[in-house]
């Protein structure tokens, strides 16, 4: 993972931990734009979607 994607992943995690789900989602998507194969970002985005009641979106993402 490159430096900017790593920083974005850390920011996404911080936002998710502070319950800012919309901003966290945007940050995870930004990570995936930079690193489409980021397993951590994919799993954490799916978990965020499921926790927010978007389980169906998490399964199709």
Total-model pTM: 0.80
C-alpha 28/C-alpha 61 separation (Å) is: 12
Dump the DSSP string for 8-34.
Answer: HHHHHHHHHHTT-HHHHHHHHHHHHHH
pLDDT higher for 52 or 42? 42
* Closest residue by Cα to residue 51 from 10, 12, 21: 21
Q: How confident is the model at residue 58 (pLDDT cuts 50, 70, 90)?
A: very low
**3-60 CATH, one of 1.10.15, 1.10.260, 1.10.3470, 1.25.40:** 1.25.40
**How many residues in total does the chain contain?**
61
Residue range 5-38, pLDDT digits in tens: 789 999 999 999 999 999 999 999 999 999 999 9
Residue 61 has pLDDT above 60, yes or no: no
Q: In the chain, where are the structural domains located?
A: 3-60
């Amino acid at each position: 993972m490159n430096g900017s994607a790593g920083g974005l992943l850390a920011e996404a995690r911080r936002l998710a931990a502070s319950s800012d789900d919309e901003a966290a989602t945007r940050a995870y998507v930004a990570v995936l734009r930079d690193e489409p194969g980021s397993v951590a970002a994919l799993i954490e985005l799916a978990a965020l979607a499921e926790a927010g009641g978007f389980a169906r979106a998490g399964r199709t993402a």
